[in-house]
Amino acid sequence: MSAAAASPRADDRGAFLRARLGSFLAVVPLGVWTVNHLWNNLSAFQGAEAWQRDVTEYGHPVGFFASSIVALLPLALHTVWGVGRLFSVKPNNLRYRYYGNLKYLLQRLSAVGLLLFLGAHLWLAFLRPRLTTGGPEPFSDITHEMHHHLPTLVVYVLGVLGVAYHLANGLHSFLMGWGVVTSRRALRKLEGLSLATFVVLLTMGLSAVYALWDAGK
Ligand code: HEM
pTM over 0.85: yes
So what CATH class is 3-215? mainly alpha
Give the pLDDT of the chain (217 residues) as one tens digit per residue.
Answer: 444 455 777 778 888 888 888 889 999 999 999 999 999 999 999 999 999 999 999 888 898 888 889 899 999 999 999 999 899 878 787 787 888 899 999 999 999 999 999 999 999 999 999 999 999 999 999 999 999 999 999 999 999 999 999 999 999 999 999 999 999 999 999 999 999 999 999 999 999 999 999 999 9
- Angle CA(77)–CA(209)–CA(42) in degrees, nearest 5? 80
> What is the pLDDT at residue 114?
98
User: φ and ψ at 96, to 5 degrees?
Assistant: -120, 100
Q: Whose CA is nearest to atom 20 of ligand 1?
A: 82
* 177 ligand 1 Cβ < 6 A: yes
User: φ and ψ at 120, to 5 degrees?
Assistant: -70, -45
Query: Would you give the distance in Å from CA 12 to the centre of its chain?
Result: 28
Q: Rounded distance, CA 104 to CA 15, Å?
A: 21
List the chain domain ranges. Answer: 3-215
Are 139 and 205 in contact by the 8 Å Cβ rule? The answer is no
* 159 ligand 1 Cβ < 6 A: no
> What is the pLDDT at residue 4?
47
Are 78 and 25 in contact by the 8 Å Cβ rule? The answer is yes
Q: Whose CA is nearest to atom 13 of ligand 1?
A: 23
Give alpha helix (H) positions in 122-183. Answer: 128-133, 139-148, 150-177
- Contact partners, residue 24, CB within 8 Å, separation at least 6: none
137 secondary structure, DSSP code: P
User: φ and ψ at 216, to 5 degrees?
Assistant: -90, 5
Q: Whose CA is nearest to atom 10 of ligand 1?
A: 170
CA 182 – ligand 1 centroid, Å: 21
- Which of these, 153, 152, 186, 158, lies nearest to 172 by C-alpha position? 186
95 secondary structure, DSSP code: T
